[in-house]
Structure 1
Amino acid sequence: MINLRKYILQASSVIGLMLFLSGCASYNDRILPYYKNVSAGNYKAAETELDKNSLIQKPRNRLLYLMEKGRISQLNGEYKNSNQYFNDADSMLEHGMTSAADEAVGALVNPMTQRYKGEDFEKFMIHYYKALNYMYLHNTEDAIVEARRISLQAQVQGDKFNNKDSRYSNDAFSLMLQGMLYESNNDVNNAFISYRNAAELYLKNPDKTYYGTTMPLGLQQDVIRTAMLNGFTTEADEFEKAFGMSNYVLPKPSEGGELILFWENGLAPVKTQVDLFFSLIRNNNGDLFFTDAAGGLVLPFNYSGDRNKVNTKSVESLRVAWPKYVAQTPYYSGAVVTNNQQQIPLEKAEDINELAFRTLQQRTLNEMGKVLSRLAVKKIAEYSVRAAAKDNNGNTNSLLEGIGYGIQLYSLLSEKADTRNWQTLPSYISYARIPLQKGENQISLTLKNSHGADETKTIKVNGTGRLQFYNYSSLR
């Protein structure tokens, strides 16, 4: 029996060491060659790295693979292929990513073993890239379909929350894009509705900000302009007052139309793991709660068993592996757009960094409670087995004791935060609406790098009299 106990302990140690070594590396660490090539602008090499990476090829990471393939295909100028991948990702999200088996795996092991379901802002960004791809393929009809799907995405997001005003369930930038797409199709009525809806998200806050972004002046002008074009004089006057504008005059349309230039700068934040420690306590009413070492967090214990039989001593300390975002400082600190010696300011429209940090914060309490309950159940099981190993005479059942230690080691070393995210998204997106001349236009995008030097990118656009789109990525 002693040899059996020794064998169980040795086997548990080996399994634990394997779990520990495989669990130390974050998702970013294990797919780093791909991201390094993306950052260096080596998109073909990046795609090769992506296709040979065994981690992202796993079925549980299928959504991440499709989003990354869609992104890298667009960076390579392969817009049709890009949308094939994004459409597959979209289809996965539409059909649902949750199942009883998937939930069970997460409960028994850790969230990294579950299917990646995507961050809420990542789902909106799929529509952004799909719409641009359709416009580049001169498929305005499908781009408009994508514009409508932005509203459906917002509805799906909003249905998850009871209090929608305090949670990220819509996206101001996506609504701005929606308005631009409608406008490109000469649908100024729906364009106005989209711009208005975007503006109202900003106006809900006294400082007119939305997740780290100040309301762009361009959006304010778009709301008033499209209101006037629709003959909505009352609405135009109301928004002039709300924006602090007066006597807005409709601009004369440019002969060559306009270009909306999106500048995607930097890379999205990286998810890492932090360890937090909690204890299980019982209040005077007999209710069970988790509390952290500082006492700043108090969370209920969701337990379906007999709470009166729970020994809080068995759950004196729980280590929670929790995801944490770490921002990546962009290589370029600013940019200026010039066309025909006229400088056009770029305005920030979407702050992925801020969205990542704040949406994780919003769901922390709810998800932390689930994680703690899962860990506590494991801890209670371990304690029960170890307690059963000793009989009333003080004798020890080595088999049960060994199993108890095995459960303890497995629980400790299998705990791992979900550090996956779509990391080739930019840190933030800025935009400018550029008037075009008829015929060829040479637009200069001058970037200021981290050394203070300027780098200029020249973009040639043929002014056709219509609204056109262009996105430039500096993913460093």
Structure 2
Amino acid sequence: FIHILMGIIYDGTGDYNNAFIAYRNALNIYEGSYKDLFKFKVPEQLKHDLVRTADQSGIYDERDRFKNKFKIEYTRPTEGQSQAVVLWNNGLGPIKDEWGINFSIIYTGNGWVSFVNADYGMTFPFYIGDRNLNGLTWIKVVFPKYVERPLLYTSGTISYNNKTIKLGKVEDINAISFKVLEERMLLEFAKSLGRVALKQAAAAQVSKDNEGLGMALSLLASATESADTRNWQTLPHSIYYTRVFVNPDADNEMTLNLTDVHGKVVKHKFKVKSKQKGTVIFPINTMAALPFQMKGYQVNQ
């Protein structure tokens, strides 16, 4: 999305060559990693912006190549025509929660122990040196996880001048968050297990001198064990955009049509004050989400 945003900014200043480069960089990502990781399709508006900026930059071979590739009917915009770029931030990104699993502790000798969970097929060796876990045979470790805040609205369109223009998805922050955490999970396991092991080793060392205090520290270590659940909770679930050519120097009335999960269409009218030969970026935020489960209870937003 950042490349599309760069393209929109260059586009709005009339720097069509750099806008084309930014849009093409975005296309490479959508056709590469985004397609492989998230099954993401190239946004429809991006295809049109690529063809248009290639034409306005005088790169006609690229214009024709993308026209044929995407099967686009293209007409050069009227000179001096104004544009409104509508950015729709839909829903809210996931919230970080925590979950815990039990590990058996296998003493393998020479200062090494293995944390084993047979149900998940996990084994993590850990070096504790000469520190004593005081015969501890299992521990509970907590890890971070994401909880999705499901979208209330599943699609959106813009109505203007008897035309309906679809808002195309350009970023799925929800999916990216889950993927990033999944790729970090082995590191999170290792960090959490190491943290718990050091806490319990410290409690075992105290137990040598004061068994009651050592037991209290061990219980305190277990009770205070928690995962890092900090995250930015106001990011949108997904981002969409489209471009509308509008009348210059006028209050252009548009309608945002939002379709929810039940098929109901909610309409919101708004006006975009355009500039002569300019581009107006018009952001729309809908922060509604369906109820979701977190820490054993239902959350309604």
Query: Aligned letter for 1:454?
Result: V
> Of 215, 218, 231, which aligns to 1:408?
218
1:333 corresponds to: 154
RMSD: 2.8
For structure 1, the residue ranges without an aligned partner over 5 or more in a row are 1-172, 390-399
Q: Which residue of 2 aligns with 1:219?
A: 46
State the Cα deviation string for residues 83-137 of structure 1 (Å, max 9, x = none): xxxxxxxxxxxxxxxxxxxxxxxxxxxxxxxxxxxxxxxxxxxxxxxxxxxxxxx
Match of 1:474 in 2: 286
* Whole-Å separation in 1 of the counterparts to 2:104 and 2:67: 55
Q: Are the equivalent residues in 2 in contact too, given 1:263–1:472 (CA < 8 A)?
A: yes
- Contact between 1:281 and 1:288, CA under 8 Å: does it hold in 2? yes
From 40, 49, 57, give the equivalent of 1:230. 57
Query: Aligned partners of 1:299, 1:179: CA distance in 2, in Å?
Result: 46
Q: Note closer, same or farther for the CA distance 1:314–1:259 as it changes in structure 2 (3 Å cut).
A: farther
* 2-structure distance, mates of 1:264, 1:176: 15
Deviation at 1:317, TM superposition (A): 1.8
TM-score normalised by length of structure 2: 0.83
1:454 aligns with 2:248: no
- Cα pair 1:257 1:463 within 8 Å, conserved: yes
Structure 2 vs 1, CA of residues 300 and 238 (structure 1 numbering), >3 Å: closer, same or farther? farther
**Aligned residue for 1:176?**
4
2: CA distance, partners of 1:219 / 1:315:
58
3-state SS, counterpart of residue 266 of structure 2:
strand
- For residues 51-78 of structure 1, the C-alpha deviation after alignment (integer angstroms, 9 at most, x for no partner) is xxxxxxxxxxxxxxxxxxxxxxxxxxxx
State the partner residue of 1:30: none
**Structure 2 partner of 1:107:** none
Deviation of the 1:238 alpha carbon: 5.6
Give the corresponding residue for 1:270: 95
TM-score, scaled to structure 1? 0.54
Q: Is 1:186 paired with 2:14?
A: yes
* 8 Å Cα contact 1:266/1:427 also seen in 2: yes
1:425 to 232, 235, 252: 235
Equivalent residues of 1:346, 1:430 under 8 A apart: yes
Asked if 1:199 corresponds to 2:27, the answer is yes
Counterpart position of 1:290? 115
- Partners of 2:150 and 2:264 lie apart in 1 by 17
Counterpart among 342, 367, 371 of residue 163 in structure 2: 342
Distance 1:283 1:195, change over 3 A: farther
Which residues of structure 2 form unaligned runs of 5+?
Answer: 289-301
Alignment equivalent of 2:183, drawn from 349, 362, 375? 362
**CA–CA distance in structure 2, aligned partners of residues 454 and 466 of structure 1:** 31
- For the residue of structure 1 that corresponds to 2:70, the secondary structure is coil
Distance apart, 1:260 and its partner CA = 0.9
Equivalent position amino acid for 2:17 in 1: N
Q: Distance in 2 between matches of 1:351 and 1:463?
A: 29
Distance 2:111 2:211 in 1: 30
- Kindly state the Cα deviation for residue 442 of structure 1 after the two structures are TM-superposed: 0.7
Q: Paired residues, what number?
A: 286
> 2 CA distance for matches of 1:457 and 1:273?
38
Counterpart CA distance in 1 for 2:16 and 2:5 is: 13
CA distance 1:201–1:297, shift in 2 (3 Å): farther
| Superposition pairs of residues 64-463 of structure 1, within 5 angstroms | 173-205=1-33, 208=35, 211=38, 213-236=40-63, 239=66, 244-246=69-71, 249-253=74-78, 255-281=80-106, 288-301=113-126, 303=127, 306=129, 309=130, 314-386=135-207, 388-389=208-209, 400-438=210-248, 439-450=250-261, 452-463=263-274
Q: C-alpha separation between the residues in 1 aligned to 2:36 and 2:67?
A: 17
Higher strand share: 2
> How far is 1:355 from its partner?
1.6
| Aligned counterparts of 1:411 and 1:246: Cα–Cα separation in 2 | 62
For 1:237 and 1:315, the matched residues in 2 are separated by: 70
Task: Return the offset for 1:288.
Answer: 4.5
Q: Is the 8 A contact 1:256 1:463 kept in 2?
A: no
Does the aligned pair in 1 maintain the 2:95–2:233 contact within 8 Å? yes
CA separation in 2, counterparts of 1:237 and 1:299? 56
Q: Which structure has more RCO (C-alpha within 8 Å, separation ≥ 6)?
A: 2
| Structure with a larger share of its residues in helix | 1
Distance 1:406 1:253 in 2: 77
Residues 196 and 281 (structure 1 numbering): CA distance in 2 closer, same or farther, change over 3 Å?
Answer: farther
Q: Is the 8 A contact 1:254 1:437 kept in 2?
A: no
User: Does the 8 Å contact 2:133/2:204 carry over to 1?
Assistant: no
CA separation of 1:246/1:285 partners in 2, compared to 1, >3 Å: closer, same or farther? Answer: farther
- How far apart, CA to CA, are the structure 2 residues paired with 1:407 and 1:374? 14
Contact 1:382 1:405 in 2 (8 A): yes
Shift of 1:337: 0.8
Separation (CA, whole Å) in 1 of partners of 2:213 and 2:132? 19
Deviation at 1:444, TM superposition (A): 0.7
